Amino acid sequence: MPAAKLLEKMQTRKSHILIVDDDADIRRLTSQLLGDSGFRVTAVADGAAMQRLLATESFDLAVLDVMLPGEDGFALCRKLRAVSKMPIVMLTARADETDRVVGLELGADDYVVKPFSPRELVARVRAHLRRTNELVAAAPKPRVKSLGFDGWKIDPIRRELRNAEGTLVSLTGTEFDLLTALAERAQRVLSRDQLLDLVRGRTAHAFDRSIDVSISRLRRKIEPFPDEPRFIRTVRNGGYVFTAEVVPLEESA
């Protein structure tokens, strides 16, 4: 365990984070926060400075403010995404759903609304860096394309599930992540631990119920007969498999 912690520390120390924010105080304070958390941080005030910096430095993750003078955060996000696969976390003062969708569609990985909790920002940065490391280990990056099964549609950007009639069926965050994790790996048996990992990695849920509870809730919402599940089958030696045929869907904006 101490070895793993040490390894993680070494990994995080290596991570270089780019911050673009026009507010000098927030730039300084966020740099301090992430610096204290063991990251190497370089902060600039606008897109022009970012471009200059990119020519000489390499980064593991970018934190972009949306409201910037000149080119806004969305434009910077698009530029950054064109040249790099690094995780991008957008910071915004607007809690609009549309802003979040635009950001994620432009290739941002996360969206944090000001005033954010500093600990949450650190947690999210850590989560994204960990996933990047897993990416190196060939773990699939979460899809941004919608998935379809038996007429149902999973939209990962809007985090929406719709049935065959196009009716919005509500899921809790955990249920949605669980369904996505299962559907992305259809026909593969996933153990409870694997599922827990996949769900935890995606978003930080403070009060996760056990996987079994979430599966049973999920079944009640999507299975025609929850007692005889067709989509999510229980595998005898502790695990679940998504048995419906899953097809990637064209993005319909």
Partner 1 sequence: MIKRLWPSRLGPQLALLTVGLLVAVQIVSVAVFALMLPRSVPAFEPNWLVERLAHLADGAMAQPAAARAAWLESQPEARWLAFHFDERPELLVVPPEARVSSWLTTMVAAETTYPWARIDVSTGRPRAVGPIAPPRLERIPPQSTEEPPMPPSIVFFVATFVAPDGWVLAVRPFLPGRSQSAAIVLAAWLVTFLVAASLVGWWAIARIAAPLGLLARATERFGRGISDEALPRRGALEIRTIADSFAEMRRRVARFVGDRTTMIAAISHDLRTPLTRMRLRVERVQDEELRAALNRDIDALEAIARETLEFARIDDAPGPPDRVDLASLLQTLADARADMDQDVRCVPHAPLVVLARADALRRVLGNLVDNAVAYGARARISVVDRPDAVRIDIDDDGPGIANEQLEEVFRPFVRLEDSRNRATGGTGLGLAIARNLARAQGGDVVLSNRMHADGTRAGLRASLTLPKGV
Residues that bind partner 1 (CB under 8 A): 23, 25-26, 29-30, 32-33, 93-95, 97-98, 114-119, 163, 165-175, 206-209, 217, 220-221
Question: Minimum distance from CB of 23 to partner 1 (Å)?
Answer: 6
Question: Minimum distance from CB of 114 to partner 1 (Å)?
Answer: 4
Contacts of 75 (CB under 8 A, 6+ apart): 47
H helix runs in 37-117, sequence order = 47-56, 73-83, 97-105
Cβ nearer to partner 1, comparing 49 with 93: 93
Report yes or no: 132 and 125 within 8 Å, Cβ to Cβ.
Answer: no
Question: Minimum distance from CB of 161 to partner 1 (Å)?
Answer: 9
What SS3 state is found at 17?
Answer: strand
What SS3 state is found at 171?
Answer: coil
Cβ nearer to partner 1, comparing 52 with 119: 119
Cβ nearer to partner 1, comparing 132 with 218: 218
d(CA 244, CA 248): 13
Q: State whether the Cα torsion 239-245-251-253 is positive or negative.
A: negative
Question: Minimum distance from CB of 85 to partner 1 (Å)?
Answer: 28
Cβ nearer to partner 1, comparing 17 with 132: 17
